[in-house]
């Protein structure tokens, strides 16, 4: 099976790529994003105990310290859930966050992302701060 996931994306307006005396009308728009593809063998898990194990791991990651009941206490609700165990054979990933832009242009885009603060902007800003030009 092939699982493809993309996220943490933010549209970068053309004018944001211009600094100093550069003409903002000549800027080239882009999108910053992360994309991952997994090639894996999937095994369906329909057993309540196996599904509860997956849910416990999910709660530990997404709701650490929360006071949720053990998934097995949900009884018949587990019937509507199918778990998957993936045996990953290959990973392909692309993280596009201004890796070819110089520090001045990256700083301008970062400033604009912080000011706009739209959906995806904070995640893109964190990735931009971590990545360095190649």
pLDDT above 70 (res 133): no
How long is the chain?
A: 134
DSSP 3-state assignment of 38?
Answer: strand
Domains and CATH numbers, the chain: 2-46+82-130 (2.30.110.10)
Interval 11-34 mean pLDDT: 93
pTM (2 decimals)?
0.69
Percent of the chain with pLDDT over 90: 79
Interval 13-37 mean pLDDT: 93
Task: Report d(CA 87, CA 4) in Å as an integer.
Answer: 15
Q: What pLDDT band is residue 15 in, cutting at 50, 70 and 90?
A: very high
pLDDT above 90 (res 70): yes
């Amino acid at each position: 099976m092939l699982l493809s996931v993309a996220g943490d994306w933010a549209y970068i307006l053309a004018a944001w790529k211009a600094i100093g005396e550069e003409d903002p009308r000549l800027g080239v728009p882009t999108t910053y994003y992360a994309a991952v593809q997994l090639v894996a063998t999937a095994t369906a898990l329909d057993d309540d105990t196996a599904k509860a194990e997956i849910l416990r791991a999910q709660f530990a990651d997404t709701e650490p310290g929360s006071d949720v009941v053990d998934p097995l206490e949900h009884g018949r609700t587990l019937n509507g859930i199918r778990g998957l165990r993936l045996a990953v054979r290959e990973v392909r990933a692309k993280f596009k966050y201004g890796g070819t832009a110089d520090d001045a242009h990256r700083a301008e885009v970062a400033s604009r992302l912080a000011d706009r603060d739209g959906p995806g902007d904070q995640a893109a800003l964190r990735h931009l701060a971590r990545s360095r030009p190649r």
